[in-house]
Structure 1
């Protein structure tokens, strides 16, 4: 079993007390400079690593934050995570990450694990099939920030994009270009983002005096293959459409693949708009028109909000809604 170097080991070699070593390692002013240099040199040579866990127990803070994501391999969350990491380094915190694979039970287990680890706070991109776990955290008054989602009826810190506006901008763009029958490939409506983007879709249709038709909305999961299968389903169901608005860019990539296999020209025959503006959206053929979310800023601000809650600088729950932007490329 590996043995970690202790301050007792350093004290023995340096010929000083354990207390002197401790004070030198913590840069206390009452240790002679020559002694401090000697201790630091020995510590480095021995490969000493400070026991943060022990320090955390004494101070009752860990300076560690748990991050729970649906899927960190998703390019959207990868960019959000960059913002969280940047803010954590700036604030002097460490991160612990767990994925739920969009399974609520995994989310519950992740929260329990992080509470066992005594993290100072949590950032959660929730599954949203249930909200019991979030309600428990709020009841505990545990510092938590909900990322990219909104919970009705729960007073909790949240940061997400203006999803209604995003859905509206995407649909309006298609209608402005003369498209009369935009198909929406959406996610399940237990997700707040799907619900709000659909609301934006309906708002744009109403503005152009086009009656909402439920058959023009296909609901599915949020990966590439889901977009592909949803598009083929629309064609097999004889749904007539001249454009497509997808819940996210990943689904749009799948829809584009399906359209190409069917010999449909984009955007001549069918225009397509995605959502998120992940990095690959510029490189797909044709480059994807999409709604840009401030992904890095979302992550950065989520962490900043959490630290203010942890340190007691803010007591009341805050809902931070970030603006979105339509990015026009060749697909529409």
Structure 2
């Protein structure tokens, strides 16, 4: 099996191995007339052996001139991914590459289609946010020599280059900040998706609580149903967080602070607290995740964890260029970039 970073085989390679013309190889693989069955069988056998993938840009493959990156993300309405797209596109363009964007909407089926689309389009390499429902789609790209860099979520079994946010550190910093401000009980409102970014944030929260000698009782982690699986434009609905927050506020003992998995959830939480006659931060501190553009304009402005989208996007393109060039420098295989805690009014008690 050819892994990412290996040179992709072309029609010209097959022709040279079999001592045939490129035209003969092309006609044999496309099923056109005028090619003997023995020759056709030899060509197909060699194509299968080297993992050749026919596609609509065969000319680019033969000439070695494909100058396109594939970028696969889960949802472009996520401000983090929107910034990633912009950074990656600008960085790629500066190197002479165009960008082919595909969205999976957290669907394994869409992910498989995205991988096949990249193969057919003869991309020079790919940058991928995986769904994490399996690795087959991206293993397929590696097996035919398409360099692939993973971002935000890793698939460790593949051994591909990876760069993402240190979400465990982000979760830890959010909880530790609340504890430093006097919180002794904290509730986390998180998405209901089975992905590592969420798992790592929760692990960081638990570590901060343990270091402070504070308990994490049952009910401290509340899951917010997202609408990603319904494939709507915005995966996070403040309404869903609002409903979960209302359930939390019916408890006899309320937490000192709430950490939300993304800033959109804070919108719903703020509304629920206001209706309940509670003030942020005097009655309850709120800490977000993402530092979305509206966060500084809430009342009070939201303390939140800023994600390093620009740095991740820049590093991802540089790593992919290294893979395409056939070499790797001294950078580690896996890179986690630290997020930044942005302190604002939602945790600044008088």
TM-score bucket of the superposed structures, by smaller chain: 0.7 to 0.9
Q: Which residue of 2 aligns with 1:60?
A: 64
**Which is further off, 145-154 or 114-123?**
145-154
CA positional deviation for 1:233? 2.9
Q: Which residue of 2 aligns with 1:213?
A: 217
Aligned length: 281
Contact 1:138–1:155, Cα closer than 8 Å, also in 2: no
- Residue 223 (structure 1) aligned to one of 212, 236, 251: 236
Cα distance in 2, alignment partners of residues 167 and 141 from structure 1: 37
Q: Which residue of 2 aligns with 1:326?
A: 341
SS in 1 for 2:272: helix
- Residue 233 (structure 1) aligned to one of 247, 251, 255: 247
- Residue 101 (structure 2) aligned to one of 97, 104, 110: 97
Contact 2:115–2:141, Cα closer than 8 Å, also in 1: no
Cα distance in 1, alignment partners of residues 119 and 217 from structure 2: 46
**Which is further off, 199-208 or 279-288?**
279-288
Cα distance in 2, alignment partners of residues 238 and 138 from structure 1: 54
Correspondences of 1:302-313 after superposition (within 5 Å): 302-313=316-327
Q: Which residue of 1 aligns with 2:191?
A: 187
Residues 268-294 of structure 1: CA distance to partner in whole angstroms, max 9, x if unpaired?
111111112122211222211011111
Contact 1:156–1:317, Cα closer than 8 Å, also in 2: no
Cα distance in 1, alignment partners of residues 264 and 134 from structure 2: 25
Question: Kindly tell me: are residues 129 and 55 of structure 1, through their superposed partners in 2, closer, same or farther at Cα, counting changes over 3 Å?
Answer: closer
Q: Which residue of 2 aligns with 1:270?
A: 284
Q: Which runs of 5+ in 2 are unaligned?
A: 1-55, 227-234
Q: Which residue of 2 aligns with 1:260?
A: 274
Correspondences of 1:1-332 after superposition (within 5 Å): 56-188=60-192, 190-220=194-224, 221=226, 223-225=236-238, 226-236=240-250, 240-314=254-328, 318-332=333-347
Contact 2:237–2:264, Cα closer than 8 Å, also in 1: yes
CA positional deviation for 1:135? 3.4
Residues 253-280 of structure 1: CA distance to partner in whole angstroms, max 9, x if unpaired?
2322322233321111111111121222
Cα distance in 2, alignment partners of residues 58 and 183 from structure 1: 57
Cα distance in 2, alignment partners of residues 205 and 141 from structure 1: 45
Contact 1:151–1:192, Cα closer than 8 Å, also in 2: no
CA positional deviation for 1:238? 5.2
Cα distance in 1, alignment partners of residues 245 and 154 from structure 2: 28
Residues 182-224 of structure 1: CA distance to partner in whole angstroms, max 9, x if unpaired?
1001224621111111111011101110122231101233613
TM-score, normalisation: structure 2: 0.74
Cα RMSD after superposing both structures: 2.2
Residues 231-257 of structure 1: CA distance to partner in whole angstroms, max 9, x if unpaired?
123234656312111112222223223
Question: Kindly tell me: are residues 216 and 114 of structure 1, through their superposed partners in 2, closer, same or farther at Cα, counting changes over 3 Å?
Answer: same
TM-score, normalisation: structure 1: 0.78
